[in-house]
Amino acid sequence: MSLLNVNDLSISYADVAKPVVNQLSFSVEAGQSMGIVGESGSGKTQTAMAVMGLLPANAIISGSIRFDDQEFLGATPDVMNQYRACRIAMVFQDPMTALNPYVRIGDQLRRILLEHRICKPAEARDRVLAMLQRVGLPDAERQYRVFPHQLSGGMRQRAMIGAALLGEPDLLVADEPTTALDVTVQAQILGLLRDLRSQSNTALLLITHDLGVVAGNCDHMLMMDDGRLLEEGPTRDIFAAPSNERTAKLISASPRINVPSKTTPLPGGVSPVLKIDTVSVSFKERSSSTKSRLHAVRPLSLEVLPGETVAIVGESGSGKTSLARAILGLIPAGSGTISYVGKRLPALVQSRSNEIRRQLQMVFQDPVTSLDPSMRVAEIVGEPIGIHEPKKKKAERERDINEMLQHVGLTSELRERFPHELSGGQAQRVAIARALIVNPSVLICDEAVAALDGTIQSDILHLLQAEQADSGLSLIFITHDLSVVRQISHRVLVLYMGRVCEIATNDELFERPQHPYTKAMLSSIPVPDPNVKQDEVPLMGEVSSILEPPTGCPFHPRCQHAIARCSEDIPELEATASGSVACFRAGELDLSY
C-alpha cells in the first residue's frame, strides 16, 4: 500500500467561483520522490497544505487524503499532531517567515522534539546539534544560539530542513524550498535534500514551478494546471514524450541555457548610446558606529550600443540593482560619469532635462507595486504624454494610448481597469507600455520577468525583442536568471559583490566561460532534462558580507581554483578574445563545456 493516497481531492472557497483543486488523485510510495509542477494558481500549494492539514477554516474540502491507514480529512488536530513532525513534515518557501524571529534556532528545534515527545529532554540538545551538523550548518554550537535573522537565506533554509527532519518523518513535503534563494545556493539545498534522502528512506513531495528542479530531483512527477491534473508518471517518460498538449507547451516554454541565442546581429561601427565610465555606488552605513561606507558597486565601465541588449547578471548583493538605479539617476553615483550620446548626464534624475529623462526608462521587477494602485490603466499609460507633450489634444492622446496598449498586446477593454484587477503578465505589459510611450532609446529592465510564470515570461521577452527589432531600442537586462540572459542578450556582464567578473558576448560566455564564478553559476542552473546528471554541487558557501568584503578577489573564499595570490591582490579586468575577465588564472584554466 502507498504511503500517501490522495483520492478525488477537491478544494474550493465560498468567495472563489472555480474550485482551486479539482478532483485530484495521486499516491506517493514510501521512499519515492514525487514532484508537483505547475504555474501560479495551479493549486499545487493548496494540495500540499491540504496534505498537511493546514488549509484555512473557510476552505471547502472533499475527497480523501489517506496517510498510511489514517484519513487526514476531518481528523482532529490531536490526531494530526501525532502525525505531523514524526511521520510527515514540511519545508516552506520562505524560511524567514517560517521561523519564529524571536526564538533562537536551537530552541526552535528543541521545542519540536519536546512538543512531540520524540526524545527525552536531556537528550534534546545533543540531537539538535547533531541535526544542525547533518544539514550542513558549520559550527553547530554557535548556530544553536543565533536568531533567524543572523543566518543567510541558505543557512535558514538548512535549519528549516533540519527542523523538518528531526522526527525522522516518512514523508517530507517541500513547497518551493529554493525559490527565494540564489541559483548557487539553490543547487546546494537541492544537493542537501538528495544527500539526506539517500541516507534515509524518506519520501519527498516537492512542489515547484521549475521543471529543471523536478527533472534533477524527482523520479515521479505530476503536472497541474488550473486545479486539475494534466499528467502523471515517471519524470523521464513525461519529459521524453508528454502526452498532454499543455504539458508539452510548459516543457518547451521552460527556459534552458543549452540552446544557442537567437538575438539579431548588431550593425558595426556605431557609437554607443550610453556610456558608463568608472561609475561606483556606495551607501552610508547607518547601523555601524564607525562611519564606514557600504560599497555596492565598485568603479565600473560599460558602453551600450544602439539596438544592443546587455545583460547584467549577479546573485543578491552583487550590486546590479544599485547600478541600474544610479544609471537612471534614482540614486546618485559615488564617482564616475554617465553619458548619453556623448553628453554627460547630471547625477540625479530631478536635475536631468525632460528630453533626457524620456530617453532612459525602466521596467521594474514587481509589476503590481510599480503601478499606482489608485490609477486606471489608461491614466497610467497616458501620464507620460501629459508631461512630455502637454499640448497634445485629448483625442490624439487617447488614440496614442490605445495604439500603445495594442502594441504591447493588451485589448482596449483593459483601459478602465485598476492594477489589482490585472494579472501579473498584463500588469507588466502596462508597465512596459508606460515606458515605451515616450519612445525611449534605452530601456532598463530590473528583473522584469522574475515574478512571472514561465509561459508569460517568454511572452514578455518576445515582446521586448520585437520592440527592439522595430525601433532599435537598447536594453539593459538586469537578472539573476541565466536562462533569460541566454535567450535575449548580445553581451553579458557578470557582477560579484559589486565587481565585474567577466564581460563577454552571449555565446562566448555560455560556451567558454573564463571566470570560475561564471562557470559555477552556469553549472548551478537546474536543467529541465532528467537525463542530465545533477549530482555535483558546483559551488559551496555563500556570498560574503558586503560590509566586510574579503581581501583580494572577492570570490576567492568560494573559488576551488583559488591560489595564494587571490587572497592578496584584486585582479584587474583584462581583455580577452570577446570581452574581458578579472581573474589571475583566466589564461590557464579551461572552464569551457
Partner 1 sequence: MSYLAAIKPILRKSRDNKTIVACGSLLLLIAAVALIGPLISPHDYAGTDFENSFLSPFGGDWHPFGTDDLGRDLFVRTLLGVKVTLFVAIIASTVSLGIGVAYGAIAGYMGGKIDALMMRAVDALYALPFIFFVILLMVVFERNFLLIFVAIGAVNWLEMARIVRGQTLSLKRRQFVDAARLIGVSTPGIILRHITPNLFGVVVVYMTLTIPQAILVESFLSFLGLGVQAPQTSLGSLVNDGVVHMEGAPWLLLLPATALAVIMLCFNFLGDGLRDVVDPKKNA
Q: Is the dihedral of CA 415, 420, 426, 428 positive or negative?
A: positive
Smallest distance, partner 1 to C-beta of residue 59, A: 14
Enumerate residues 456-485 that contact partner 1 by CB under 8 A. Answer: none
Binding flag, residue 415, partner 1 (CB under 8 A): no
Distance between CA 364 and CA 129 in Å, rounded? Answer: 43
Give the DSSP letter string of 491-513.
Answer: EEEEEETTEEEEEEEHHHHHHS-
Q: Would you give the binding string for partner 1 spanning residues 266-305, x where CB under 8 A is met?
A: ----------------------------------------
Tally the C-alpha atoms within 13 A of residue 315's C-alpha that lie toward its C-beta. 26
SS3 365: coil
384 binds partner 1 (CB under 8 A): yes
Minimum Å gap between C-beta 354 and partner 1 is 5
Cell 509589476, residue? 367
Cβ closer to partner 1: 247 or 426?
426
Amino acid, res. 142: R
Amino acid at 245: E
CA dist list (Å): 42 to 11, 223, 225, 280: 12, 9, 5, 43
- Position 459, amino acid: D
Q: Could you tell me which stretch among 121-129, 392-400, 431-439, 556-564 binds partner 1 (CB under 8 A)?
A: 431-439
Closest separation in Å from C-beta 474 to partner 1: 16
Q: Does 30 bind partner 1 (CB under 8 A)?
A: no
| Given 66, 116, 134, 358, the residue binding partner 1 (CB under 8 A) | 358
Greatest Cα pair distance, the chain, in angstroms, is 80
Under rule CB under 8 A, which residues in 332-351 are in contact with partner 1? 349-350
Among 193, 251, 328, 494, binds partner 1 (CB under 8 A): 328
Nearer to partner 1, 29 or 383 (CB): 383
Binder among 373, 394, 575, 588 for partner 1 (CB under 8 A): 373
Report in angstroms how near the CB of residue 399 gets to partner 1 at its nearest.
19
Count of residues engaged in binding partner 1, rule: CB under 8 A: 31
Residue among 55, 47, 92 at smallest CA distance from 74: 55
Residue 388 interacts with partner 1 (CB under 8 A)? yes
- Residue from 156, 275, 357, 491 in contact with partner 1 (CB under 8 A): 357
Report how far residue 503's alpha carbon sits from residue 311's, in angstroms, rounded to the nearest whole number. Answer: 10
Q: Alpha helix (H) ranges present in 340-418?
A: 354-359, 377-388, 394-407
Q: Cell for 238?
A: 513525461
Least distance from C-beta 255 to partner 1, angstroms?
24
Give the integer Cα–Cα distance in Å for 39 and 409. 21
Asked whether position 324 contacts partner 1 by CB under 8 A, the answer is: no
Which position among 51, 224, 431, 456 is part of the footprint of partner 1 (CB under 8 A)? 431
Instruction: Check binding of 414 to partner 1 (CB under 8 A).
Output: no
Length of the chain: 593
Q: Please tell me whether residue 157 binds partner 1 under the rule CB under 8 A.
A: no
The CA-atom distances, in angstroms, between 531 and each of 217, 218, 567 are 11, 12, 38
Residue closer to partner 1, measured from CB, 86 or 356? 356
3-state DSSP assignment of residue 334: coil
Q: How far is the CB of 437 from partner 1 (least distance, A)?
A: 9
Beta strands in 456-538 (DSSP E): 474-479, 491-496, 499-505
Place of cell 532612459: 360
Q: According to the binding rule CB under 8 A, does residue 330 interact with partner 1?
A: yes
The kind and range of the H/E element at 28 are: strand 21-28
Least distance between partner 1 and beta carbon 434 (Å): 7
Task: Classify residue 376 by burial, with Cβ atoms within 10 Å: 0-12, 13-18, 19+.
Answer: middle
Query: Measured on CA atoms in the order 184, 186, 187, 193, is the torsion positive or negative?
Result: positive
Spatial separation of the C-alpha atoms in residues 45 and 176, rounded to whole Å = 9
Q: Is 374 in the site for partner 1 (CB under 8 A)?
A: yes
Spatial separation of the C-alpha atoms in residues 80 and 86, rounded to whole Å: 10
Report the site for partner 1 in 87-146 (rule: CB under 8 A).
Answer: none
Query: At 141, phi and psi to the nearest 5?
Result: -55, -40
Q: Does 370 bind partner 1 (CB under 8 A)?
A: yes
Assess 418 for contact with partner 1 (CB under 8 A).
Answer: yes
Q: Which one, 199 or 350, has the nearer CB to partner 1?
A: 350
User: What amino acid occupies position 203?
Assistant: A
Q: Is 372 in the site for partner 1 (CB under 8 A)?
A: yes
Q: How far is the CB of 502 from partner 1 (least distance, A)?
A: 29
| Closest CB to partner 1 among residues 199, 374 | 374
Q: Does 442 bind partner 1 (CB under 8 A)?
A: no
Residue 32 CB, nearest approach to partner 1 (Å): 34
With CB under 8 A as the contact rule, the residue among 24, 89, 362, 539 that binds partner 1 is: 362
Binds partner 1 by CB under 8 A, chosen from 44, 434, 486, 491: 434
Among 78, 354, 531, 575, binds partner 1 (CB under 8 A): 354
Positions in the binding site for partner 1 (CB under 8 A): 325, 328, 330, 349-350, 354, 357-358, 360-362, 364-366, 369-376, 379, 383-384, 387-388, 418, 431, 434, 438
